Amino acid sequence: MEIYRKLYDHFGPQHWWPAQTRTEMIVGAVLTQNTAWRNVESALSILRSRNLLTLDALRAIPEKELATLIRVSGFFNVKAHRLKNLIQFIQNTYAGNLDSMFAQKQETLREQLLGVSGIGAETADSILLYAGQIPSFVVDAYTRRIFFRHGLVTPSDDYSAIQHLFMRHLPRQAPLFNEYHALIVRTAKVYCKREPQCGACPLGYLMPPTGDPFVASSRRSA
């Protein structure tokens, strides 16, 4: 909460999720998997221009055609398949009704989403939090990186451990979780690049990126 305040005072509200509708958020949550948001926006624009950002339209379009349309967002074949899986789940389980889906008990819906192939913890939590306004904290690579550098997360902490850390220390309010995650992403983008400007970071300088197991490059260079 102390850290949240510092980030909020420094950056102000981030106005996430940058999307117009819940369906658009859900689609964006899949498209942004390991992908720059810029490219996701391009793909969403293409889908929007063809009026494909509705569950019915996405269910009707052939998977191969969908893959072609979302090409710019990368991993387009797997993402088209994942979107189809997710749309099908919503149709089968909630008759394609998002109000019904988000009225489901939080833990139950999260488990159901995790049961959809292609929906992992972060994507599930993003859907719950941003599309459903349900207080499920989103943990991403930036969260790990920043909190590791501040000694609050260790390399052995898995997704669930980190999520519990936040949810244990914060009031369960979707608007707070929303803003906090967005602020973490903003902070990492501005201050945790390869030539970090830690001195200007509102959280201060605590640890150099060297040896940080959460920088993406460490996976391949090892």
Binding site for DNA (CB under 7 A): 16-18, 28-29, 32-39, 42, 71-72, 74-79, 116-124, 126, 130, 140-142, 185, 189, 194, 215-217, 219-222
Q: How far is the CB of 160 from DNA (least distance, A)?
A: 11
In Å, what is the CA distance from 163 to each residue of 77, 81, 90, 116, 220?
A: 30, 28, 25, 20, 26
For DNA, give the closer residue by CB, 45 or 56: 45
For DNA, give the closer residue by CB, 96 or 120: 120
Q: How far is the CB of 18 from DNA (least distance, A)?
A: 5
* Sole residue written with tokens 């950056």: 11
Q: How far is the CB of 95 from DNA (least distance, A)?
A: 23
Q: What DSSP string runs through 79-97? A: HHHHHHHHHHHHHHHHTT-
Contacting residues for 183 by C-beta, under 8 A, at least 6 apart:
4, 7, 8, 11, 14
Question: 29: exposed, middle or buried (C-beta count within 10 Å: 0-12, 13-18, 19+)?
Answer: buried
- What SS3 state is found at 160? helix
Q: How far is the CB of 96 from DNA (least distance, A)?
A: 21
Q: Which two tokens stand for residue 16?
A: 């996430």
| CA dist., res. 111 & res. 86, Å (int) | 13
Q: How far is the CB of 170 from DNA (least distance, A)?
A: 18
For DNA, give the closer residue by CB, 56 or 129: 129
For DNA, give the closer residue by CB, 20 or 117: 117
CB 66 within 8 A of CB 80: yes
Q: Which two tokens stand for residue 62?
A: 């052939």
Q: How far is the CB of 165 from DNA (least distance, A)?
A: 17
For DNA, give the closer residue by CB, 2 or 194: 194
For DNA, give the closer residue by CB, 56 or 158: 158
